[in-house]
Amino acid sequence: MKETINHPFYEAEPTVREALRECVPTREGTIEFLKSLFPCANWLPRYNWRWLVGDGIAGFTVGLVVIPQAMAYALLATLPPDFGLYTSFAGAATYWLFGTSKDIVIGTTAVGSLLVGEVISHVHEAHPNTYSSVEIAKTLSFMTGLILFIMGFLRLGWLVEIVPYIPVSAFITAASIIIMCTQLPVLLGIPGVNTREEPYKVLISTFRKVGDTKLDAAIGITCLLLLELAKFVFSTLEARQPARKRLWSILSSLRLTFAMLLYTLVSFLVNRNLSADESKFRIVGHINQGFVHVGTPSFNNGLISAILPQSPIILIILIVEHIAIAKSFGKKLGYEVAPSQEIMAQGTANILGPFLGGYSCTGSFGASAVLSKAGVKTPLAGLFSAFMLLLALYALTGVFYFIPRAALAGLIIHAVFSLVATPSTVLKYWYLSPLECLIWVAGVAMAIFTGLETAIYVTTGLSFLLLLVRIARTKGQFLGRVPVQQIDQSRKGLEETAFEKRTAMREMFLDLDRNDASNRDIVVETPHGGVLIYHFPEGLNYLNQAQHLKTLTDYVYTRTQRSTEQPSKDTSETLWCDKPVTYKQDDGVPILRAIVIDCSTIHNIDITSVQGLVDVRNALDRWASPSTIEWHFGGLRNRWARRALTAAGFGRSAADDFRTVGSWAPVLPLASEESESDDRNERICADDENTTGTRNGDVRSPDLQTSQVETGDRMSLAVTPRNSGTGSQQTHHVQSTVMTSLLSGAVFGTGLTLSGVASPQVIKNQFNLSDFHMVATFLTASATSAVIFAAYNSRNANKNIPARSASSQGWLGTYDGNIIGGAMIGLGISLTGACPGTVLVQATAGVQNSRALACSCLLAGVIWVKLKPLITGSQPPSRADKESIMAITGWSTTKVVIIYEAAMISVLSAILAYAPRSVTLLNPVVGGLLIGVGQLSSVILTKKPVGVSGAYGEFGNVFWSILAGRIPKTIPDSILFAGGLMAGSWMAMFNVPTIREAMLGSESPSLLTAVVGGLFLSFGARIAGGCTSGHGISGMANMGLSSVITVVSMFGTGIAVGLVLPWLQ
């Protein structure tokens, strides 16, 4: 019987004293705070032999990995290798006292070392010959450590939530690219390259001096290939032999150590009787034995003033990198980390490090993964790692003397390559939040071309601005009354559905904790057992998501129970962080069944918040296993927010043309590392998702759909199983094609521009045989493409890239279109100094009459659509029985490719040795390799070879479709590729202005010649079924006979016209 309250309720006014009283810490709270400063006090009394064995094995194992990594990363910081050992020792020796994660390893990192190196470089530029690199690094570490310690002590770890997901992801990707660029000259042994310049300048300088490559290249390249091969082999063995997965995983983790030992042995055998200056390749050289750099850091006011402006970015990255990896392992292995305490532990290591000779340190991705896989039990494993570092410093410095620097460069490149976000990851960003995806792209580009510091500030500012705009410019809505009735619908089918009307009762939902202005005498009933209703009072965004989601999980853990009882365990089998009683089972506490989220205040949702929700879903799925939790999002009306949650797997759109993104990308690549199945994982459930909610498979099972149900007076987005359709996959394919086509076109356009073959003068001189730069570049690109196609087709036998078929117009024979079209292209090239692809580059540069030439090509594409049926012969086109050289000769692909490569190399060697060539920005071989990179990107991203001329024909189709009133739903791939080509070309010329200046100084065709030549180029390419890139670079490389015929006709006609034209003028 319900109690009725008859007396009136008067709300009491809040007072200042009441507010201040809430801020005063209680005695119990103060004691709890002091205990939390030393988490080790909770688990050290329970330490046992089983933990000791696990920690010892894991600590010694990770020590073997940390030693070569620490020395390599110290070189990134422009410091001697032994400083990396000092830094890692400080982190290993102190973390166990204050840390809350058993899997974290504090030491040197690639990104942190890069930033320290940039600070050192900046101080040297501002104060030349004033402070040493060691002095700067030690002072920087002490300053950042002190700030970190104070932040942790004051429990300001929540400040890390101010930096959202996207800037960090963009920063790590850009930093990884920068690191690889700076290590490339070291890998190849090229001296005299300033690696502190912008990455694109470093690449250009490296390519310019590629002729100065030394023996170091043999060491560096083979080391890199060996590491990649070892990673592939051990990963394959892990998949094929699940019973030995842990063994193969540990051996894979030790591949860095084995590689360094191997190349150190090789170096010793080669250089044992030579001094460091006389060595055959660069080696590390003398390393100090022991802690010879012990001392206090410098507290010079001038040095502190020079470092202080550079310290914020160091602090941001040190904190975010460390907390991200600690949380990743905590979520994966079922324990919680305290961000503030982690920052305090990190600060302690950075304070102690400078006194031993170390520099700034943070959580290390690779080392932490090794520690976790090796079976670590407690944070005390760091002491065993510290012992290994002591052994290295006092007993192995003589061995380190012979380590090749090129091998260390290969190790660094191998380690950071996996940190670069893949195109599929960027595509998922686009699904979740297009504006944040654009911020990510802008951040990566800005970091590469302007610097990391500017990029992290700008992207964080843009993300914060986007948040403010979403909050400040939220549109209000006028609501109307809608009669609502609750109905029951049978599941027998739509035609057989029976409806039963029921009387609807309106309900009001109040705060269970009663921290509102409602009458406290009113009894608020909890929802049905195991059902929780949560309300976001201020919306959900990256600033508040961590607090909200922690509140939600804490409530679940304390107010619900597992659906299965936990097995009894002895002390040695518990986690080091477990309390004596963990989540006590209570028969009166319900099992978690469903979570209802009131989303009435959510108008936008960012990627960080979506990831947080996915994290909570994974954690609660494990908590409720083997039961399934239902998620309901009530009042979620914003279409973009619904799309983001649907893409993350919280349902399926009511429309059939949307695809749930089953694969979810983590903030940091380590988050996707697989963990070993410890006892805690065994007692919960096997989960196919990683710590940040990433689906390891691309296809989710079961698929989900959304159904709309009435919960009170709000609309709910409920998750129910259904079978997936094909329409969503088609839409996903279309949307992914847009980005991949643009990106592959941009890469190809960049290579085409930097190679120098887009210059009208270079092309014209090639066809009058006074300059062979174009042919040399062309042959290199084609030879590179041949290897790419052969490798791709061998791995994708069912979906390979076929040779181009004969382009027959039914006039003269099977290859009439190739012969006539090729001749028309050659004539157009001789007249204009451009081919269909370089037309777009020249138009981007603004070469005289080049835009008229481009318009002429487009006009020909428009005319071709209507003209093609008229000019085709009356006889049906004949088809070649065998399209490829392999089919004609009966030889294997390997044999044909080897012969082709040998022929290309022979011709190329003769050209480089004897033929005249102009002086261009890059060597033609380097330029051809860059175009080959464009080919590789196109094959990987779009599964198609490069080709430009098709865009003109597609433009004609689009033109006539629009004219007929049919608006195309999608942009053709070839047009997107051409647009990306122009964008990549513009970016290359913007950053290397000399390329555009050289093109503008070339001899350009007259307006009439440009118009006529453009018609020949476009018509010829359509008749031949391809152009210089489609038939020449791609078609010949794929061993198509029609492409060989087209290229011979093209160059034969072009050279004949090129030789005759001067006589006619």
Residue 642 has pLDDT above 80, yes or no: yes
- Structure token pair of residue 1014: 């453009």
Least confident piece of the model among 286-295, 305-314, 417-426, 695-704: 695-704
Mean pLDDT, residues 817-822 taken together: 87
Residue 726 has pLDDT above 60, yes or no: no
Residue 897 has pLDDT above 70, yes or no: yes
- Structure token pair of residue 416: 């950071």
A 10 A CB-CB count for 666 gives 22
pLDDT score of 803: 80
Beta bridge partners of 689: 695
Alpha helix ranges (H) inside 756-815? 760-767, 773-795
Least confident piece of the model among 134-138, 504-508, 958-962: 504-508
Distance, in Å, from the CA atom of 368 to the CA atom of 62, rounded to the nearest integer, reads 8
Contact yes or no for 403/707 (Cβ under 8 A): no
Residue 49: helix, strand or coil by DSSP?
A: helix
Start-to-end Cα distance in the chain: 109
Q: Distances in Å between the alpha carbon of 900 and those of 329, 398, 782, 885, 1030?
A: 50, 48, 10, 11, 18
Say which residue the tokens 């988050």 belong to. 671
List Cβ neighbours of 717 (8 Å cut-off, separation of 6 or more): 632, 633, 634, 636, 642, 645, 650, 651, 706, 708
Contact yes or no for 175/452 (Cβ under 8 A): yes
Distance, in Å, from the CA atom of 1045 to the CA atom of 216, rounded to the nearest integer, reads 42
Distance, in Å, from the CA atom of 379 to the CA atom of 366, rounded to the nearest integer, reads 17
658-669 pLDDT per residue, tens: 444 444 433 333
Contact yes or no for 610/648 (Cβ under 8 A): yes
What DSSP letter does each residue of 315-370 carry, written as one string?
HHHHHHHHHHHHHHHHHHHT----HHHHHHHHHHHHHHHHHHT----EE-HHHHHH
Does a cis peptide bond (omega within 30 degrees of 0) precede residue 626? yes
Task: Using DSSP bridges, classify how beta strands 714-721 and 704-711 pair: parallel, antiparallel or unpaired.
Answer: antiparallel
Distance, in Å, from the CA atom of 147 to the CA atom of 143, rounded to the nearest integer, reads 6
Distance, in Å, from the CA atom of 411 to the CA atom of 256, rounded to the nearest integer, reads 7
Does a cis peptide bond (omega within 30 degrees of 0) precede residue 702? yes
Contact yes or no for 626/685 (Cβ under 8 A): yes
Residue 657's nearest CA partner among 742, 763, 573, 728 is 728
Candidate ranges 142-146, 548-552, 952-956, 1053-1057; pick with highest mean pLDDT: 142-146
In whole angstroms, what separates CA 194 from the centre of its chain?
Answer: 27
pLDDT score of 716: 38
Residue 882: helix, strand or coil by DSSP?
A: coil
- Structure token pair of residue 63: 């020590």
Largest CA-CA distance found in the chain, in angstroms, rounded: 112
List Cβ neighbours of 64 (8 Å cut-off, separation of 6 or more): 254, 257, 388
pLDDT score of 854: 92
495, with CB counted inside 10 A (0-12, 13-18, 19+), is exposed
pLDDT score of 344: 93
The residue ranking higher by pLDDT, 513 or 876, is: 513
DSSP code at position 211: G
DSSP code at position 1032: I
Residue 521 has pLDDT above 80, yes or no: no
Percent of the chain past pLDDT 70, that is, above it, reads 81
CA dihedral 828, 832, 837, 842 (to 10 degrees): -170
A 10 A CB-CB count for 241 gives 11
Residue 626 has pLDDT above 50, yes or no: yes
Say which residue the tokens 């500012």 belong to. 461
pLDDT score of 1: 47
Residue 68: helix, strand or coil by DSSP?
A: helix
Please tell me the pTM assigned to this model.
Answer: 0.56
671-684 pLDDT per residue, tens: 333 333 333 333 33
Distance, in Å, from the CA atom of 761 to the CA atom of 343, rounded to the nearest integer, reads 60
215-251 pLDDT per residue, tens: 888 998 999 999 889 888 988 888 888 888 878 888 8
pLDDT score of 843: 92
Mean pLDDT, residues 379-389 taken together: 91
pLDDT score of 514: 60
312, with CB counted inside 10 A (0-12, 13-18, 19+), is middle
The interaxial angle of helices 760-767 and 773-795, nearest 10 deg, is 100
Alpha helix ranges (H) inside 685-755? 727-755
Say which residue the tokens 């040190």 belong to. 318
Distance, in Å, from the CA atom of 514 to the CA atom of 525, rounded to the nearest integer, reads 12
Instruction: Tell me the CB-side half-sphere exposure of residue 861, using CA atoms within 13 A.
Output: 25
The interaxial angle of helices 49-76 and 255-271, nearest 10 deg, is 50
Residue 667's nearest CA partner among 134, 172, 25, 75 is 172
Say which residue the tokens 């006389």 belong to. 278
List Cβ neighbours of 693 (8 Å cut-off, separation of 6 or more): 611, 613, 614, 615, 617, 618, 648, 649, 664, 666
DSSP code at position 162: G
- Structure token pair of residue 177: 């690219």
What is the band of 94 on the pLDDT scale with cuts at 50, 70, 90? very high
Mean pLDDT, residues 612-621 taken together: 86
745-801 pLDDT per residue, tens: 888 888 888 888 888 888 888 888 888 888 889 889 998 888 888 888 887 766 778
pLDDT score of 694: 30
Q: Residue 234: what residue type?
A: F
Instruction: Tell me the CB-side half-sphere exposure of residue 186, using CA atoms within 13 A.
Output: 26
Least confident piece of the model among 76-90, 349-363, 807-821, 956-970: 807-821
Distance, in Å, from the CA atom of 713 to the CA atom of 505, rounded to the nearest integer, reads 10
Radius of gyration of the chain (CA): 33
What is the band of 6 on the pLDDT scale with cuts at 50, 70, 90? low
Helices (H) and strands (E) in the chain, counts: 40, 9
What is the band of 41 on the pLDDT scale with cuts at 50, 70, 90? confident
Write down the mean pLDDT value for the chain.
79
Distance, in Å, from the CA atom of 226 to the CA atom of 179, rounded to the nearest integer, reads 20
Task: Using DSSP bridges, classify how beta strands 594-598 and 531-535 pair: parallel, antiparallel or unpaired.
Answer: parallel
What DSSP letter does each residue of 459-491 carry, written as one string?
HHHHHHHHHHHHHHTPPP----------EEE-S
pLDDT score of 482: 47
The residue ranking higher by pLDDT, 332 or 189, is: 189
pLDDT score of 682: 35
